[in-house]
A and B are shown apart, each in its own frame.
Chain A
Amino acid sequence: MPKINSAVELEAFRKGLLSKKDPLKPCIAVCSGTSCLSLGNDSVIRAFEEEIKKRSLGSKVDLRVTGCHGFCEKGPLVVIHPEEICYVEVKPGDVPEIVAQTVIKKKVIDRLIYSNPGTGVKAAHCAEIPFYAKQMRHLMGNNSRIDPKSIDEYIEHGGYAALSKALFEMSPVQVLEEIKKANLRGRGGGGFPAGLKWETARNAPGEEKYVIVNGHEGEPGAFMDRALFAGNPHSVLEGLIIGAYAIGSHRGFIYTRHDSPQLRNHIALALAKAEEYGFLGENILGSGFSFTVEVHLDIGIFVSGESSALMRSIEGKTPEPRPKYIRTSVSGVWDRPTNLNNVETWANVPQIIDKGVEWYTRIGTEKSKGTKLISLSGNVVNTGIVEVPFGTTLREIVYDIGGGIPKGKKLKAVHFGGPMGGSIPASLIDTPLDFDALAKLGAPIGAGGLLVLDEDANMVDVTRFFLGFLSNESCGKCVPCREGIRQMLKIVTRISEGKGRKGDIELLEEIAAMAGTASLCALGKTASDPLLSTLRYFRGEYENNIVRE
């Protein structure tokens, strides 16, 4: 493949790809997300391959192994295009029938389609399944349509058009202004405006600047970033290149998990292909802008996802956070201006540039724009990855999309943001998904892991679990975090065993206040958030376990 050398060449190439495509040609898309992998989708894929071969359908039917579709609860998932008929919990034995009935005769197989466990109502098409119906899948939508290993399929779906637009129709400052006007806020946890961060890095003194994709996602209960990154790696990469152009960076890093071979392979392939096509490297698309990316892998430590620790890790040092009195966007990797955003934030960039600020800012609430990926897990009927516009209520996420609480149990709480997040009670379930509204309630969105807890959940135990996790995952450098968590864990443990002492709750609050102020990094500063939120809404559960004298 010769390098693409201009915007015109890119559009011509795209047209060429599309002209070779028959939109009516059946395509079998098999989900290959982590969950479907573990549910045995490889045998389903093999069965399709054999069946297609047996019936000599190779030229008439496409078989596509795709990224995660999101409906993890019901995997392995198979979607038949162009009708978008969705089959759930598919077994290899179902495959001959799917090919004979659906692919060839266009008939829906009733027993393989989704059936609502509550109402018994069946749904044959993806869009009719309640889990998908209320979603707005701007980031995840292409996961079920493209092969993540194929850059051509990304281009067919409009890929790299935003990069071309940014490079040839906009100045770096114009790109920056678009991101600022779109009010794109960081999806990694803080919700800090990405445009402002970019601007700081752009204006910081120094020629050499870096951009980073934080694909670490170490938070228990968060699994959306790896689904997006593994399922549509070019969308993240395109965002990164556009950001580098806006910031004036020529070197980027992808920091991601060492323990996900599929993710690593898809990223490596995407980088190789992007370079081959001329989207990376010297003189991108003939624009004169040059940019390269290298991949760094974590070593399995939670705190290495913290931005300053991550940057030290890239430098080859122990991933320990450092104080950010001078921001990393001014002094980051090797003390040079470094702009870090997470996977989902970067993936938002191409659509903002492509479709414009007007389009983007119509989605969401006043101060939280666009869509948000949510990893839905816990005591909920439909676990999986959900993408909704900001402003969607938690009730819609848990009940309409999530299908409610299994076994007829009652909802007790929802917990956002993993071990450094917070829980809110069922009575606040009508709260909209919004950075600020949820932070105010003590349950900041964090990266977007949403854990649903039913009436049997013991909130003291939930807190103990998170503190135990952090007690192992703190780097252990500073006293407020290391010793604060150690003591909070001890106290919460004795309370959970019914052996709480008089004054324990007040002591917990005092330690939490100290650690929240005096810790070196965000881990220590927010380690007590689950504790504080459960004390706020479920204080009785603590009080009942204090031994009376």
Chain B
Amino acid sequence: MSEILLQIDGKKVKAAKAMTILDAAQSAGIFIPTLCHREKLEPYGACRICIVEAEVRGRKNLVVACLYPVQPDLVVTTRSEKIDAIRKMILELMLAHAPDAEDLQALAKEYGADKARFDKESSFCILCGLCVRYCNEVKKKNAIAFVERGAKREIAFIPEIAAKECWDCKECFPLCPTEALQAAYVLTEALSFPRQK
């Protein structure tokens, strides 16, 4: 496979053709924050926290590292005032849902995000989709899915599938950066297939 030469934060990086900026950065030991990204899953591009600046032939654009394909002579900047400001607000928007999530708090510290900037939202879920995608892509069970769209979007277990598949799996639980997933599961279980005690 032909190698592509690009630059990340002033460092020359070699990458393979099918790689994204995030792949290339990780292979070179350069850190870019991620939330909805997991190696085993298809790139998703929903949280946007991995936003970086990509310069191609003199044109600069803000793009998400987990999706943007590498190309020759690409110049990537992973931190700047503009990038940090966007990451800060993205974190603040998510912290309105999950102020106590550890992953978010760690990043909030780095970017100076204020967890009380926006009024607390009722749902803990930040809709990173890790559970939905893991169940779909890795387990191929689709026991959990997104329902509705826009501001009403949420995750929901499909009771008929969950009753059969989830009791001895629960592999999605540790993926969840908040408590929303377990709450959704417990609720579904209680309503639809209560355990015999």
Q: Which positions in A face B, CB cutoff 8 Å?
A: 301, 303, 323, 325-326, 470-480, 482-487, 489-490, 510-511, 514, 517-520
Partner of A478, one of B48, B89, B96, B152: B48
How far, in Å, is B86 (CB) from chain A's closest CB? 5
- The residue on B at minimum CB distance from A320 is B149
Residues from chain A with a CB closer than 8 A to the CB of B86 are 480, 514, 517-518
In the bound assembly, the distance between CA atoms of A310 and B99 in angstroms comes to: 36
Verify if B173 is at the interface (C-beta below 8 Å from A): no
Interface size on B, residues (CB 8 A): 32
Residues from chain A with a CB closer than 8 A to the CB of B90 are 479-480, 483, 514, 518
Partner of A474, one of B68, B93, B151: B151
21 contacts between A and B (CB under 8 A): A323-B64, A323-B67, A323-B68, A325-B63, A325-B67, A326-B69, A471-B151, A472-B149, A472-B151, A474-B150, A476-B149, A476-B151, A476-B152, A478-B46, A478-B47, A479-B46, A479-B93, A479-B127, A480-B93, A517-B51, A518-B62
How far, in Å, is B180 (CB) from chain A's closest CB? 15
Verify if B161 is at the interface (C-beta below 8 Å from A): no
Q: How many residue pairs bridge A and B at CB < 8 Å? A: 93
Whether A325 lies near B153 (C-beta < 8 A) is: no
How far, in Å, is B84 (CB) from chain A's closest CB? 12
Verify if B177 is at the interface (C-beta below 8 Å from A): no
Residues from chain A with a CB closer than 8 A to the CB of B89 are 510-511, 514
Verify if B119 is at the interface (C-beta below 8 Å from A): yes
In the bound assembly, the distance between CA atoms of A24 and B67 in angstroms comes to: 64
Q: Which positions in B face A, CB cutoff 8 Å?
A: 45-48, 51, 62-64, 67-69, 82, 85-86, 89-90, 93-94, 96, 118-119, 121, 126-127, 129, 146, 148-153
In the bound assembly, the distance between CA atoms of A474 and B151 in angstroms comes to: 8
Whether B150 lies near A473 (C-beta < 8 A) is: yes
In the bound assembly, the distance between CA atoms of A105 and B47 in angstroms comes to: 72
In the bound assembly, the distance between CA atoms of A529 and B90 in angstroms comes to: 19
Whether A325 lies near B51 (C-beta < 8 A) is: no
How far, in Å, is B158 (CB) from chain A's closest CB? 15
Whether A301 lies near B45 (C-beta < 8 A) is: no
Residues from chain B with a CB closer than 8 A to the CB of A480 are 48, 86, 90, 93
Partner of A479, one of B94, B118, B119: B94
Whether A472 lies near B152 (C-beta < 8 A) is: yes
Whether A476 lies near B127 (C-beta < 8 A) is: yes
How far, in Å, is B132 (CB) from chain A's closest CB? 11
Residues from chain A with a CB closer than 8 A to the CB of B127 are 476-477, 479, 482
Whether B62 lies near A517 (C-beta < 8 A) is: yes
Whether A479 lies near B48 (C-beta < 8 A) is: yes
Residues from chain A with a CB closer than 8 A to the CB of B47 are 478-479
- The residue on A at minimum CB distance from B68 is A325
How far, in Å, is B31 (CB) from chain A's closest CB? 19
Partner of B150, one of A475, A510, A514: A475
In the bound assembly, the distance between CA atoms of A489 and B152 in angstroms comes to: 14
How far, in Å, is B18 (CB) from chain A's closest CB? 12
